[in-house]
Amino acid sequence: MQLRNSSARYGAVSIFLHWLVAVAVFGLFGLGYWMVGLDYYSSWYTTAPDIHKSLGILLFVVMLGRMLWRWLSPLPASLPNHGRLTRLGSKFGHAFLYVGLFVLMLSGYLISTADGRAIEVFGWFSVPATLTSIPDQEDIAGLVHEYLAWALVIVAGLHGLAALKHHVIDRDRTLARMLGR
């Protein structure tokens, strides 16, 4: 398998980044959903949010790399059987996922740094708090983060269902291309 995308298929780097982001998003969603229910006396009360923040920062770095790779290695062309509506839905859905992920990560950053403290990433490095004076920053960013996380997981689920529809009903190569076949 080639590393770069071709006009007909995705390359290994795009496939790896796609599935890495998918696993990270659903993993972070599950961790976030679980950790908000922890009480003060749980041994995970501070550990879970620290892991969530660290993985969120690393996901941000991966997404920047993914955007750069998308620029360096353009996407394959749409399949010939994809009509105008399918291509438009695909573009809109992907744009929502990309923009939504960046807004989600920005809102997480605003929640985590509202008190002026940097975000420690697994003790490897710190991301400084640069925006701390927004009124009700933690509360507003928290609502954006929660609702957008739900929206992204739902849209990502629909994205997966659409890929399965293409594979099972339309019997085209949409899913196979993202599986490296």
What does the pLDDT look like over 79-124, one tens digit per residue? 888 889 999 999 999 999 999 999 999 999 999 999 999 999 999 9
Residue 180 predicted with pLDDT over 80: no
Share of the chain above pLDDT 70, in %: 100
Token pair belonging to 29? 């969603």
Cα of first residue to Cα of last residue in the chain, in angstroms, is 9
**Mean pLDDT to the nearest integer, 29-49:** 95
Indicate the pTM of the whole model.
Answer: 0.92
Spatial separation of the C-alpha atoms in residues 162 and 156, rounded to whole Å? 10
Residue 1 predicted with pLDDT over 80: no
CA distances from 23 to 31, 83, 93, 114, 128 (A): 12, 29, 18, 28, 27
What are the counts of helices (DSSP H) followed by strands (DSSP E) for the chain?
A: 5, 2
**For helices 84-112 and 137-168, angle between their N-to-C axes, nearest 10 degrees:** 150
**Mean pLDDT to the nearest integer, 18-39:** 96
CATH class of 12-178: mainly alpha
Angle at 145 (CA atoms; ends 139, 147), nearest 5 degrees: 105
Residue 181 predicted with pLDDT over 80: no
